[in-house]
Amino acid sequence: MKTFAKTLLHIASALLIFLLANAVAFTKLFQGAYFLIAVIPCYIFIHTEPSVFHLKLKTAKLRSLANGCELLRLFLFSTILTIVFNSMGIAGSTPIDGIRNAPALWAGNVGLSIIIESLIFWNGIIRVYVTSTQLGIKWRVIGIVCGWVPIVHLIVLGKIIAISEAEVKLENHKLVVDETRVPEQICRTKYPILLVHGVFFRDWKFINYWGRIPAELEKNGAWIFYGNHQSALPVSESGAELAARIKEVLRVTGAKKVNIIAHSKGGLDSRYAISKCGMAPYVASLTTINTPHRGCEFADYLLSKISPGQQQKIAGAYNSTLKKLGDTNPDFLSAVRDLTARRCREINDQVLDSPTVFYQSVGSKLNHASGGRFPLNFSYQLVNYFDGDNDGLVGEKSFPWGKNYTFLTVKGTRGISHGDMIDMNRENFKGFDVREFYIQLVKKLKEQGF
């Protein structure tokens, strides 16, 4: 019933916009001023609140986005009607007497149509561009470029509406679900969570390496801390930094242990901290996410093909940049060498698991190169040649470690990339909700007593 009522309201609104857009023509049929007095207030109301059904959305941002979508949808329908109506007039087949032989009147009608429809369009597109996160730069640029191409711009606009409406539906659903389970505190583990980043990244305050994941975990009771280690060091030095960080977290919280969730090289660093830096008594569990436990064969290949001089030149450029971003003593080459298959075999022989720590791992794969964002869409083929199925950086065979191993992908050509596993692009896509995945992961840690 609600869907039927919404459809009727949508049709009525679209027809009203169509009538006003063609007011020059319709005033002859509907007694002039009386017609305008009836239609204009409704048109203004549509601009402010396109649909009463959006009032139940949980946030003002989502309501604004939903209303923007509604305005764009109304624009599409009413514009199509207007184009058909004015085309009929040009062809001399309009049913309204007195118009077919008045070209100036038709020109005025077309001019008014452009103004009325443009106001609806700009009100909608501005709301959507300002409030949507899922459009990203890509669809915003496509929208701007294709906005000047007839027919194509309507197709692109339909895609923009679809992406934005899907965002409204998912985000509001997540807010509703979180509201219902907040009292349960399903992510309130016995020990705090330490999130450990991968190579060439840092834990910055304003750009979270883990995307929307930490905030979602905290909503559900999680106690979150970050590794705060440098971005590019050999495993041994990164492990030592993490050991110091674990001690700091224990001192601040008064907890006896931590649960570590580590991504990429962070998993190797965490294993080293546990095994070689005396952290085994202070770590309850280690969950590695897309960690190259057995290294990357393609890294061995690249290092064998690039001359020492070129390696030093590349390393110098990276180290200089990393210093500007906060690292005190970055070592690009040592970090990369520790990701080779040869070096990981050595690490695995030396860095032994502690029997008192629960180890588990997660891995994912892209189904096709086009499924990855830059630069993973380029590296995918190279990694695939040496390491087989992969996430754009790490081969599938390198992921498993510990008692439990979870492998993830989605149907179709997309798959789940190395970056998707930490919500790097803040992107929602069909088949995998990364935030909910982490909620369920931490929930299971709680249920296991960690």
pLDDT digits (tens, 9 = 90+) for 422-447: 999 999 999 999 999 999 999 999 99
pLDDT in tens, 325-369: 889 999 999 999 999 999 999 999 999 999 999 999 999 999 998
pLDDT in tens, 122-153: 999 999 999 999 999 999 999 999 988 888 98
Residue 31 has pLDDT above 90, yes or no: no
Residue 279 has pLDDT above 60, yes or no: yes
93: phi then psi, degrees, rounded to nearest 5: -115, 20
pLDDT in tens, 175-201: 999 999 989 999 999 999 999 999 999
First to last CA, the chain: 47
CB neighbours (10 Å) of residue 141? 11
Give 51-60's long-range contacts (Cβ < 8 A, gap of 24+): 51/6, 51/9, 51/10, 52/9, 53/2, 53/6, 53/9, 57/168, 57/172, 58/172, 58/175, 58/176, 58/179, 59/172, 59/175
- DSSP character string of 367-413: SSGGGSPTTHHHHHHHHHHHHSSBSSSSBGGG---SSEEEEE--SSS
Alpha carbons 175 and 171: distance in angstroms, whole number: 6
Residue 95 has pLDDT above 60, yes or no: no
| Helix and strand counts by DSSP (H, E) for the chain | 16, 6
Taking Cα atoms as reference points, which of 291, 219, 268 lies closest to residue 58? 219
pTM of the entire structure?
A: 0.88
**Domains detected in the chain:** 2-178 (no CATH), 185-447 (3.40.50.1820)
> Would you mind telling me the total number of residues written for the chain in this entry?
450
> How far, in whole angstroms, is CA 330 from its chain's centroid?
29
pLDDT in tens, 199-245: 999 998 888 999 999 999 999 999 999 999 999 999 999 999 999 99
Yes or no: say if 265 and 291 are a contact pair by the CB < 8 Å rule.
Answer: yes
The first and second tokens of residue 317, run together, are 């450029």
